[in-house]
Amino acid sequence: MEALLFNVDSGFLEGTVRGYKGGILSQSHYANLTQCETLEDFRTQLSATDYGNFLANEPLPISTATIADKATQILVDQFKYLRNNAVEPLSKFLDYITYGYMIDNVILLITGTLHERDTHELIERCHPLGIFETMPALCVASNVEELYQSVLVETPLAPYFRDCLSASDLDDLNIEIVRNTVYKAYLEDFHSYCTSLGGPTAEVMHRILSFEADRRTVNITINSFNTELTKEQRAKLFPSIGRLFPEGNNQLAKADEVDQVRQVCEGVSEYRVFFSDAPSSTANSGGGDEASSAVSQLEDRFFHMEVHLNKQAFLQQFQYGVFYAYMKLKEQEIRNLTWIAECIAQDARDRIQDFIPIF
């Protein structure tokens, strides 16, 4: 049925986003980029891709931050184009994508204010897609209650914050808890919205969001080892969606070490690879260095998995998943570009291959 009427409202935008997707850098582009000697080469090489002359008006020398900023700007422009042309329910779906960035920005601002950074500097560092107009006022709040009452109540994020209202003062741990609670609420809400859309959108987004939820669950578990966070509190932060839910989540809530996490992940065949060659490091878990490398390895694998899932979203037509997937893929691409540019700038040739290829 959606095949019949989908194109009436969203066909153009789906075509547009698929066209954008055609501009995502491929393996050969990356191969060329990694051969660059300087950032100027990098710029020349990028000008042959869909990025075009986005750096042409930058005076030399170029910094990696400029590259990342300009690339993000392109993505933001594309997103805004899509958003401006979208109608319900796609426009709502696209709004949901921005909520994620909004949460990040809110947390960034609160944390920054807590550490007494300059507000303007913080606002510049915020993701442009997650900016809302009352955002700067966040810096006056000193606890969540106040935060909610003064600023967030009129933003779309309000329902997510309602669950974690407490008059307790904001400190680093509390902010982390707030972040995870809010994100959990966001993921669940987004998921239920996608389910309400039904059809292929629900299917595709279910896959992607389930993974996202599981990733958060695993990350929260691993990061909460040896902290003051109690197990009950931890269990509250787990999103109630995902493939690990509910048994896996229950077990993770009780886990004390990485090995237990691994056992839980064994339960899902796709997640087995995350810990496949981790045992060597968990065997002598005394070496903190190796444990952290295992964690960063895990992070990389998560990214690989994410890219894989998002690529799969493009295999199905007549659904909104492509918009979400495109944003995520493009973000990954910007991370890759920044990584390569950083490696070139710092002359760290041996690590230049550590990006995550998309196509």
Partner 1 sequence: MSDEYPSLLRSEQMSLVQLFVPTEVAHDTVAELGELGNVQFKDLNPNVNPFQRSFVGEIRRIDEMARRVRFFSTQIEQEKDVVPIRPLYDSAPLITVGPRAAQTMDELDVTLTEHESRLVKMNESYQKLSERTRELVEARHVLRETAVFFDKAQGHRADIRSSFDDSSAPLLQHDDRENQYSSGSVQFDLEFVAGTIDRARLSTFERVLWRVLRGNLYMNHTDIVDPFVDPVTGAETRKNVFIIFAHGDALLAKIRKVAESMGATLYPIDANADKRSDSLREVTARLEDLETVLYNTGSNRRSELVKIGESLRAWQDVVRKEKLIYETLNLFNYDVRRKTLIAEGWVPTRDITKIQLALRHATEESGTSVPPILHELRTHKTPPTFHRTNKFTEGFQTIMDSYGIASYQEVNPGLFAVITFPFLFAVMFGDIGHGFIIFFAALYMILTERRLARVDLGEIMGQFFYGRYIILLMGAFSVYTGLMYNDIFSKTLHIWHSGWSFPQTDADKVVGVSNGHMYPFGLDPGWHGADNNLVFVNSYKMKMSIVLGVIHMTFALCLQLPNHIRFKRPIDIYANFIPQMIFLLSIFGYLVICILYKWSIDWSQASTQPPSLLNMLINMFLSPGAVDPKEQLYAGQAFVQVVLLLLAAVCVPWLLITKPYFAWKEMKKIQGQGYVSIGHGDGAPRDSSDEVLEGEEEGNGRAIAEDTDEGHEQHDFGEVVIHQVIHTIEFCLGCISHTASYLRLWALSLAHAQLSEVLWTMTLERFLGPTSVGGWIGLIIVGVLWFVLTVFILCLMEGLSAFLHALRLHWVEANSKHYEGGGYAFAPLTFANPDMKE
Q: Which pair of tokens denotes residue 309?
A: 């899932």
The closest of 259, 260, 210, 267 to 239, measured between CA atoms, is 210
Q: Give whichever of 131 and 295 is closer to partner 1, judged by the CB atom.
A: 131
Tell me which of 3, 65, 140, 348 binds partner 1, using CB under 8 A: 140
DSSP string, 297-349: HHHHHHHHHHHHHHHHHTTS-SSTHHHHHHHHHHHHHHHHHHHHHHHHHTT-G
3-state helix vs strand vs coil in the chain, percent to 5? 70, 0, 25
Residues between 7 and 66 that touch partner 1 (CB under 8 A): 32, 35-36, 40-41, 44-45, 48, 56-57, 59-60
Tell me which of 124, 154, 163, 299 binds partner 1, using CB under 8 A: 154
Nearest-approach distance from CB 147 to partner 1, in angstroms? 10
Query: What are the residues whose beta carbons fall under 8 Å from the beta carbon of 110, sequence distance 6 or more?
Result: 138, 141, 147, 170, 175, 178
Tell me which of 87, 137, 173, 273 binds partner 1, using CB under 8 A: 137
Total of residues contacting partner 1 (CB under 8 A): 26
Cross-strand bridge partners of residue 169 = 143
Q: Is residue 177 at the binding interface for partner 1, with CB under 8 A as the rule?
A: no
Nearest-approach distance from CB 34 to partner 1, in angstroms? 11
Q: Give whichever of 26 and 293 is closer to partner 1, judged by the CB atom.
A: 26
Rounded Cα distance between 93 and 314, Å, is 17
Q: Give whichever of 33 and 264 is closer to partner 1, judged by the CB atom.
A: 33
User: For residue 171, with 0-12 CB atoms within 10 Å meaning exposed, 13-18 middle and 19 or more buried, which class applies?
Assistant: exposed
Nearest-approach distance from CB 27 to partner 1, in angstroms? 15
Helix, strand or coil, per DSSP, at residue 169: strand
Q: Which one of the spans 144-152, 164-172, 311-319, 328-336 is the region binding partner 1 (CB under 8 A)? A: 144-152
Nearest-approach distance from CB 41 to partner 1, in angstroms? 4
Nearest-approach distance from CB 343 to partner 1, in angstroms? 16
The closest of 337, 352, 306 to 72, measured between CA atoms, is 337
Q: Is residue 85 at the binding interface for partner 1, with CB under 8 A as the rule?
A: no
Q: Which pair of tokens denotes residue 224?
A: 């909460």
Q: Give whichever of 32 and 195 is closer to partner 1, judged by the CB atom.
A: 32
Q: Which one of the spans 3-11, 119-127, 159-167, 245-253 is the region binding partner 1 (CB under 8 A)? A: 119-127
∠144-148-154 over CA atoms, to 5°?
Answer: 160
Question: Which residues of 160-205 form beta strands (DSSP E)?
Answer: none
Q: Which one of the spans 5-13, 97-105, 134-142, 335-343 is the region binding partner 1 (CB under 8 A)? A: 134-142
Tell me which of 143, 150, 282, 312 binds partner 1, using CB under 8 A: 150
Q: Which pair of tokens denotes residue 158?
A: 């309000």
Nearest-approach distance from CB 56 to partner 1, in angstroms? 6
Do residues 194 and 207 touch, judged by C-beta distance below 8 A?
no
Q: Is residue 134 at the binding interface for partner 1, with CB under 8 A as the rule?
A: yes
Q: Give whichever of 134 and 292 is closer to partner 1, judged by the CB atom.
A: 134
Tell me which of 91, 111, 119, 317 binds partner 1, using CB under 8 A: 119
Residues between 310 and 339 that touch partner 1 (CB under 8 A): none
Helix, strand or coil, per DSSP, at residue 259: helix
Q: Give whichever of 45 and 223 is closer to partner 1, judged by the CB atom.
A: 45
Q: Give whichever of 55 and 329 is closer to partner 1, judged by the CB atom.
A: 55
Kindly give the interhelix angle for 90-114 and 2-22, rounded to the nearest 10 degrees: 50
∠55-60-66 over CA atoms, to 5°?
Answer: 50
Query: What are the residues whose beta carbons fall under 8 Å from the beta carbon of 351, sequence distance 6 or more?
Result: 343
Site residues (CB under 8 A) for partner 1? 32, 35-36, 40-41, 44-45, 48, 56-57, 59-60, 119-120, 123, 133-134, 136-137, 139-140, 149-151, 153-154
